[in-house]
Amino acid sequence: MRSLVPKGSSRSMTCLCLTHSLTQTHSHNLLATTFSSSLYNSNNRNPLFQLFSGILRPRIRAFSTDFRSAPTPTASSSAFAQSMANFDADSVTYLKQRDAAEIDETLMGPLGFSVDQLMELAGLSVATSISEVYKPSEYSRVLTICGPGNNGGDGLVAARHLHHFGYKPFVCYPKRTPKPLYAGLVTQLEALSIPFFSVEELPSDLSNGFDVVIDAMFGFSFHGSPRPPFDDLIQRLVSLHNNNNQIGQKRSVIVSVDIPSGWHVEEGDVDGTGIKPDMLVSLTAPKLGAKKFGGPHHFLGGRFVPPAIAEKYKLILPPYPGTSMCVRIGKPPRIDISALRENYISPEFLEEQVEADPFNQFHKWFNDALAAGLKEPNAMSLSTVGKDGKPSSRMVLLKGLDKEGFVWYTNYESQKARELSENPRASLLFYWDGLNRQVRVEGPVQKVSDEESEQYFHSRPRGSQIGAIVSKQSTVVPGRHVLYQEYKELEEKYSDGLQYTPHEINGQRLWKVDRLAP
């Protein structure tokens, strides 16, 4: 291996900048705090760090990133991807009210299910659907409004699971069913110290206290018009959706269980004045009225439909992924990218609190990322520019850091290596999402010593070494099978070997074991 830049290249100015995002209410520009220091080489007094336009400019050295093959999909994930690719989302079966009732009767009759079994599976499906979209880090406070029937029981079960998923559930259960099953569900929630609110204790504007409101009041078997206090609760949910459309109002979401309360089971929101949930979790199979659902998230739960039921009612339902209790119906919603925004909340980042030495500050932040359990905190974006002036970026892994700079490794025939030979300057970007922090580094790049490079290569697992040899990075190959075949050939060629040789010691036959050189 040869140097991409001549040895002994001059040490030009470089830049390292750390930013720590603060709370942003109306603006989403990051507030950057920079720090500076000066450090001189005792031999030639050339500045390794120098204050330049208020930004610290440390020098970096670098280099090389290893070949990392894409993870091979598991059999289960591949099978699910294939089944979803072959599944026609428009062919999903929507049940009439009568068919839905008959299926429930069959499940709890000849097929041997009990109502508490079905309720447990349904509630778990609702909780997992919520966790797919609304993460507890942002949507922690969940109010479940439960009706007196099975739909309300599903909501009670969902509240219990959400507690174990890391949410903070609250329950409003104004018309409690005196049956032992429902009393037991209440006892389970009380044992977890989950608060119960009366209707009067709820704020008139539910968005003032909750991030998610689960509508578990009435299911597909409900007839007639809702009576007090559920008529008022339904109107609060209608108002909640209207408030969400007002600029500046806090965003709260509504999740309906099986059918939005107050909707006609087959005709949906007839007059357009009913609840407009953000998520609908259909159970067993979606009901006919769900075709009128216009929210962004429609999930199917209740993974308990046996083949006999599916065949009798000609049910066409999407396959469930892996061990999940829910599956999305239809395609994910189209997202308005311009509307995506995040409020960044972090501790204060003050000049007097930072280290005088930027490398010490980087180590401090890097250790914070390790302590936070962030995935691959040493991942960084490497940007290079060739002689054509076109920038290119890719993710690599930091493999070393000292007072001379940051070290990574790469194939010397890769695109980034060619660009660095033409323009030996680069920029690095570390981004630690869980801490709302980023570090930018800019400067010249030079090759590490041959000894350091060889030492690193031989420290890698045998499979990783072979992969690096096989990969001619950034070059076109006929297909994956070519790389696989070359890999297998090298694996056989360089496989470790043992040799057993018989010999006698004091008349006893023994085996001598020797390792063969690859």
- For 338-365, what is each residue's pLDDT tens digit? 777 666 666 777 788 888 888 888 999 9
Helix (H) or strand (E) holding 482: helix 480-493
Residue reference for tokens 């569900």: 185
Tokens of 373: 């359990």
**Same-domain check for residues 322 and 365:** no
Distances (CA, A) of 513 to 132, 428, 497, 507, 516: 55, 49, 10, 19, 10
CA 166 to chain centre: 16
Residue 129 covered by a domain: yes
**Same-domain check for residues 309 and 396:** no
Annotated binding site: which residue ranges? Answer: 150-154, 215, 219-225, 258, 261
CATH at residue 167 = 3.40.50.10260
Q: Are 280 and 294 in contact (CB under 8 A)?
A: no
Residue 376 covered by a domain: yes
Residue reference for tokens 């030079």: 446
Residue 482 covered by a domain: yes
From CA 308, how far away is CA 305, in angstroms rounded?
8
The residue among 329, 348, 367 that closes a domain is 329
Phi, psi of 379, rounded to the nearest 5 degrees: -70, 140
CATH at residue 406 = 2.30.110.10
Residue 395 covered by a domain: yes
**Same-domain check for residues 134 and 225:** yes
**Same-domain check for residues 247 and 119:** yes
The residue among 292, 309, 329 that closes a domain is 329
From CA 280, how far away is CA 278, in angstroms rounded?
7
Annotated binding site for (6S)-NADPHX: which residue ranges? Answer: 150-154, 219-225, 258
Domain region containing 184 = 89-329
**Same-domain check for residues 297 and 384:** no
Q: Report strand pairing: 425-432 vs 405-407.
A: unpaired
Which residues, in sequence order, are CB contacts of 480 under 8 Å at separation 6+? none
Tokens of 155: 């909501």
**Same-domain check for residues 292 and 421:** no
**Same-domain check for residues 316 and 433:** no
DSSP 332: P
From CA 20, how far away is CA 215, in angstroms rounded?
39
Q: Are 290 and 259 in contact (CB under 8 A)?
A: yes
3-class state of residue 212 by DSSP: strand
Residue 34 covered by a domain: no
How many domains in the chain? 2
**Same-domain check for residues 317 and 401:** no
User: How many CB atoms within 10 Å of residue 148?
Assistant: 18
Q: Which of 483, 479, 473 is nearest to 392 (CA)?
A: 473
**Same-domain check for residues 251 and 215:** yes
Q: List pLDDT tens digits, range 96-149.
A: 999 999 999 999 999 999 999 999 999 999 999 999 999 999 999 999 999 999
**Same-domain check for residues 304 and 444:** no
**Same-domain check for residues 190 and 252:** yes
From CA 454, how far away is CA 461, in angstroms rounded?
13
Residue 56 covered by a domain: no
The residue among 310, 329, 348 that closes a domain is 329
**Same-domain check for residues 200 and 307:** yes
Residue 3 covered by a domain: no
From CA 448, how far away is CA 106, in angstroms rounded?
72
Q: What is the pLDDT along the chain (518 residues), one digit of tens a residue?
A: 222 333 333 333 345 666 555 433 332 322 222 322 222 233 333 323 322 222 333 334 445 443 334 444 445 555 555 555 556 667 899 999 999 999 999 999 999 999 999 999 999 999 999 999 999 999 999 999 999 999 999 999 999 999 999 999 999 999 999 999 999 999 999 999 999 999 999 998 998 899 999 999 999 888 888 999 999 999 999 988 776 555 445 678 999 999 999 999 999 999 989 999 999 999 999 999 999 999 999 999 989 899 999 999 999 999 999 999 999 997 766 777 777 766 666 677 778 888 888 888 899 999 999 999 988 999 999 999 989 999 999 899 898 888 888 888 777 778 888 898 899 999 999 999 888 899 999 889 988 777 766 665 566 565 555 555 545 555 555 565 655 666 566 555 555 557 566 777 887 877 776 655 54
